[in-house]
Amino acid sequence: MRKIYIFPLLLTGIISFGQIPNFPTPQASGLGNYSANNYGNPTNSRSFQRNYAPSILSAYQKSSNTTQQHNVYESQVRSQNDAVMRGIGQDMAEVQEMQFRQWVDNGRNMSYELPTLSGKTGTKAYYDAFDKLTTIDSENYSLADVNFTVENAFYDNKQDVNKFKAGIQRTAKQLLQKMKERKQDTESNVSKNLMLFEYFSKDMKLNGTTHKAFEYDFKDYMGQKDYSKMFVSKLLKTGSGQCHSMPLYYLMLAEAMNTESYLSLAPNHSYIRFVDDEGTMRNMELTNGMFPTDNAFLESGYIKSEALQNKIYLENLTKKELLGMAYFDLARGYVSKFGYDEFVNKVIDKALELYPNGIAPNMEKANVSQVRFTNVMKKLGINPEDKRDLQRIGYFPKAVEQLNQINEQFNTIDNLGYAEMPASAYESWLGSLKTEKNKQESEALAERMRLFQLQKQKERKEQEAVKKAQEKKKQEQKPRYIPIDPNKL
């Protein structure tokens, strides 16, 4: 049994099948051990009567005949039995062949797609959300709008978009005002990112009230029992979230404050990155309020060199890729609420169109293919975990194609450099970031960036002072125009 774990949540189990072997040419004579129950109820099978004859003579017959008569009679009975059994065997073979042919015909003509779940209440909200996302310019959009669309579908379009966006705008203005009060540069990208980091990691007075630092919610942090645990709206409501909701909210506030920052991925994880004043890309870990190095992520042991080469981890997501992850979130919300059908495949295909190397959408594609194939096997009466029984799919080209697609998708995931990271390993790695060494390095980096900002502010003020002095001197040196009174000439 192969199970895949991904950011930001635990995916459903995936069974890995081997490559399809060469199948023998179907022969009716090879079906004697198959029961009709495997192929459904035949509608045109020829009925037959079973004629049973005694194979052992009664004691009365033995005592009333001579030995010679007994031998003749026994020979006749044996011949009769053989003839009856040949007839029964011939009839059974014909019935089995007809059942087999009907099984093959039915299997080849049946639907190979997942049954639609459109009849379930709430699915329309997801269809509408998908249609809305497809109208968005993938290079220029509001993350707040996109995220609200995804979360609102889960709540059957009953949330208030104006309230959601107004809250983000209000907090962004309060943070900018806080910067002005501290005489910090509200035009500096680094200063604004540091202010956002402080807002997430420390208690802060805003507009007369105390905002508490956000906390990591370790309970069902992958949303297996309650998928709404993944939402920004849940974070805002409770003050606690995880590595999915926190970075998304951060990016929404950064968007409202007109500052640059990026989402980046690690195994089972996402975090924030931004460029400091020295031009260095810095990592920002919101779950524990630290600035980890790339090595801190590599030390998890679950990032292969292939993953780095294919840029699936430790890279800034582009606007297109970030939108691709929004489609992935939409699909996962649908699955958690309703299950798998072809709509999920449609959404994931769109996610992969925007983010081809995205490990999360690629794995969800494998999930869809797996569930579809399992559904087909169930309808055919084939056990996909029994390699011998699995060979019977050779009679069904579409099933063979589906299994090939599963193998190809697994190969894609492997080639991207994915390594399964169990939940226990993820929790252990997350805890390891809080070592004293990492804390000291993080605090030293934060102080360095703060001092760099202060130095820049000082230099900027000095430059402004010099500029004002130069303008004043220029004005003083400028020739003055004195009007002449013509009456005094």
Reported as a single tens digit per residue, the pLDDT across 90-131 is: 666 777 888 888 989 999 999 999 999 999 999 999 999 999
Contact yes or no for 268/5 (Cβ under 8 A): yes
Residue 11 has pLDDT above 60, yes or no: no
Contact yes or no for 393/378 (Cβ under 8 A): no
In a domain, 37, yes or no: no
- Please tell me whether residues 227 and 87 are part of one structural domain: no
Q: What is the pLDDT of residue 247?
A: 97
Distances (CA, A) of 53 to 56, 141, 289: 9, 84, 87
Contact yes or no for 328/348 (Cβ under 8 A): yes
- Please tell me whether residues 129 and 68 are part of one structural domain: no
Reported as a single tens digit per residue, the pLDDT across 42-56 is: 333 333 233 223 332
In a domain, 466, yes or no: no
Residue 479 has pLDDT above 70, yes or no: no
- Please tell me whether residues 228 and 174 are part of one structural domain: yes
Bond from prior residue into 397 cis (ω within 30 degrees of 0): no
In a domain, 423, yes or no: yes
* Alpha-carbon dihedral sign for residues 16, 17, 18, 19: negative
In a domain, 38, yes or no: no
Bond from prior residue into 247 cis (ω within 30 degrees of 0): no
In a domain, 98, yes or no: yes
> What is the H or E stretch that residue 429 is in?
helix 423-432
- Please tell me whether residues 101 and 132 are part of one structural domain: no
Report field, pTM of the whole predicted structure over 0.75: yes
DSSP 141-160: --HHHHHHHHHHHHTTT-S-
Report which of 358, 299, 399, 395 is spatially closest to residue 28, judged by C-alpha positions. Answer: 395
- Please tell me whether residues 102 and 128 are part of one structural domain: no
In a domain, 83, yes or no: yes
Partners of residue 287 on adjacent β-strands: none
Q: Give the confidence band of 453 by pLDDT, cuts at 50, 70, 90.
A: confident
| Least reliable range by pLDDT among 52-56, 203-207, 404-408 | 52-56
- Please tell me whether residues 61 and 165 are part of one structural domain: no
Rounded to whole angstroms, the Cα distance separating 186 from 74 reads: 110
Residue 163 has pLDDT above 80, yes or no: yes
- Please tell me whether residues 172 and 320 are part of one structural domain: yes
For the chain, how many structural domains are there in total?
A: 2
Q: Which residue type does 419 have?
A: A
Q: What is the pLDDT of residue 78?
A: 65
- Please tell me whether residues 92 and 184 are part of one structural domain: no
- Please tell me whether residues 406 and 264 are part of one structural domain: yes
Domain coverage including residue 334: 123-430
Q: How far apart are the first and last CA of the chain?
A: 110
Reported as a single tens digit per residue, the pLDDT across 58-87 is: 333 444 455 565 565 566 656 666 665 665
Report which of 74, 79, 34 is spatially closest to residue 56, judged by C-alpha positions. Answer: 74
- Please tell me whether residues 99 and 174 are part of one structural domain: no
- Please tell me whether residues 314 and 343 are part of one structural domain: yes
Helix axes 319-337 and 143-154, enclosed angle (nearest 10): 10
Rounded to whole angstroms, the Cα distance separating 332 from 330 reads: 6
In a domain, 335, yes or no: yes
Rounded to whole angstroms, the Cα distance separating 147 from 124 reads: 18
Torsion, CA 476, CA 481, CA 482, CA 484, rounded to 10: 170
- Please tell me whether residues 68 and 188 are part of one structural domain: no
Rounded to whole angstroms, the Cα distance separating 475 from 464 reads: 16
Contact yes or no for 257/236 (Cβ under 8 A): no
Rounded to whole angstroms, the Cα distance separating 114 from 110 reads: 11
